[in-house]
Structure 1
Amino acid sequence: MARNATRTSPPDPSGGEDPRAWYDELTDDLLYDPAIGRSTMMGYPCIRLAGRFLASYDEKSGRLVVKLPAARVAELVADGTGQEFAPAGKVFREWVALGPAERDRWQTLLAEAVAFARSTLG
């Protein structure tokens, strides 16, 4: 969609970019590492590092979902940056969801998710 200087509607919280396109762009940037690849998780598109899930995209809500240490997830939920990831009502304590309004943090948290996944490799 072209930007119009006379636009009167409120700005798109995703910064004018489709959240899925933003997810794809950010995760494409991670694919330089041969250990990182695309997959699916519970029907959602995701990326893995050496077979371990590290991030996903929730198509229904337009949210990035990343796997981080439980304490970091609790911090992000407590400060309002993220929301618990609870598909079908079950909270995943090492996963946090970030909506399009937080897209300026998506890249940083993807990097944290990669570092966390690397730290769990044997």
Structure 2
Amino acid sequence: MSYAQAFQRLLQEPGVEESTMMKTPCLRYQGNFLTMMFDKEEALIIKVSPERVNELIASGEGLEFNYTKKRFKEWVLIPIEYADAFESFMFEALHYAHSKS
């Protein structure tokens, strides 16, 4: 499933809405950031627990997000080579958002 298809699928979930961040389309759950494509890095950004961020970085599936020269503890970049799993990562971000509400 493509990123665009996964984006549209998540929009069907209760509480998920389309928005923008850094002038780029993103998804939010109850107003809080979930996910977006970060074209500058050719990667998906997801918001998950700090522990999960560390796991993804350690496994090589994720890269640290530090766009403002400050590490975002709940944001991780998922490189384009994992595009086949983007939908799964995006739903993981939604599950994390559910756990915080």
User: Scaled by the length of structure 2, what TM-score is found?
Assistant: 0.91
Larger radius of gyration: 1
Identity %: 36
The aligned amino acid for 2:45 is: V
Instruction: Flag structure 2 segments of 5+ consecutive residues without an equivalent.
Output: none
The Cα of 1:24 is off from its aligned counterpart by 1.9
Kindly indicate whether residue 56 of structure 2 is the aligned counterpart of residue 56 of structure 1.
no
Q: State how 1:78-93 maps to structure 2 within 5 Å.
A: 78-93=58-73
Kindly indicate whether residue 12 of structure 2 is the aligned counterpart of residue 32 of structure 1.
yes
> Which structure carries more relative contact order (alpha carbon 8 Å, separation 6+)?
2
Instruction: Flag structure 1 segments of 5+ consecutive residues without an equivalent.
Output: 1-21
Kindly indicate whether residue 45 of structure 2 is the aligned counterpart of residue 72 of structure 1.
no
Higher helix share: 2
The aligned amino acid for 2:81 is: A
SS at match of 1:102: helix
Give every structure 1 segment of 4 or more consecutive aligned residues whose post-TM-superposition deviation is greater than 6 Å.
none
Hey, what's the Cα distance between the residues in 1 that align with 2:86 and 2:14? Answer: 21
RMSD between aligned residues? 1.5
User: Scaled by the length of structure 1, what TM-score is found?
Assistant: 0.76
The aligned amino acid for 1:116 is: Y
The total of aligned residue pairs comes to 101
